[in-house]
Amino acid sequence: MKIRPKQPVAVYGPIMISREAGRARYRVENEHGFVMEGTAAPGPVGFNPAELLCSAVGTCLAITVDQMCARQGINAGAVKVAVSVGKAPDLPSRFGRVMVSIDMDGIDDPDLRDRLIEAAQRHCTVSNTLDKSVVFEMLETGDGLEVGPAG
């Protein structure tokens, strides 16, 4: 009997968020040195947490659609994903609803489009994470979570 070894668990990040004293904006930096601005409220200077969550869901779904189409030799054309989140009415403070619309202008067959969207939702890591419970670990300060250009 052959026993398959467990596949390694992928770990992404860390994403470092920092705010200088006296500033209202947050610096969001990935391990490759890419930097963007984060803000507390919607506005033209950066993404707020709700927008970052929407962008994570939308980007993951778009990538998943593209990968599935590539594997099947399907030309999806331009792929556009719109994502909104709604706050839950009760406590604790959280988002209780994620609304997604996916458009693929290269696919005219509504059945194929629906099958691709359903499959993308099943395979998207971010939407699967939101749909299930997740272990949330608060680590002690200085536990090696540092970010800088990959080397």
27 phi/psi in degrees, rounded to 5: -90, 125
Q: What percentage of the chain carries pLDDT values higher than 70?
A: 87
Return the SS3 of 87.
strand
For 89-110, the pLDDT digits (tens) are: 999 999 999 999 999 999 999 9
Return the SS3 of 12.
coil
pLDDT interval class at 145 (50, 70, 90): low
Q: Which residues does residue 83 pair with via DSSP β-bridges, in sequence order?
A: 100
Q: Where are the beta strands (DSSP E) in 19-78?
A: 26-29, 35-38
pLDDT interval class at 140 (50, 70, 90): confident
For 33-54, the pLDDT digits (tens) are: 999 999 887 777 889 999 999 9
Q: Where are the domains of the chain?
A: 9-47, 48-136
Could you say which of 3.90.1150.10, 3.20.20.70, 3.50.50.60, 3.30.300.20 is the CATH number of the domain covering 48-136? 3.30.300.20
Mean pLDDT for the stretch of residues 15-34: 89
Q: Which residues contact 37 (CB under 8 A, 6 or more apart)?
A: 25, 26, 27, 28, 45, 46, 47
Question: What's the whole-model pTM score?
Answer: 0.82
Mean pLDDT for the stretch of residues 65-92: 95
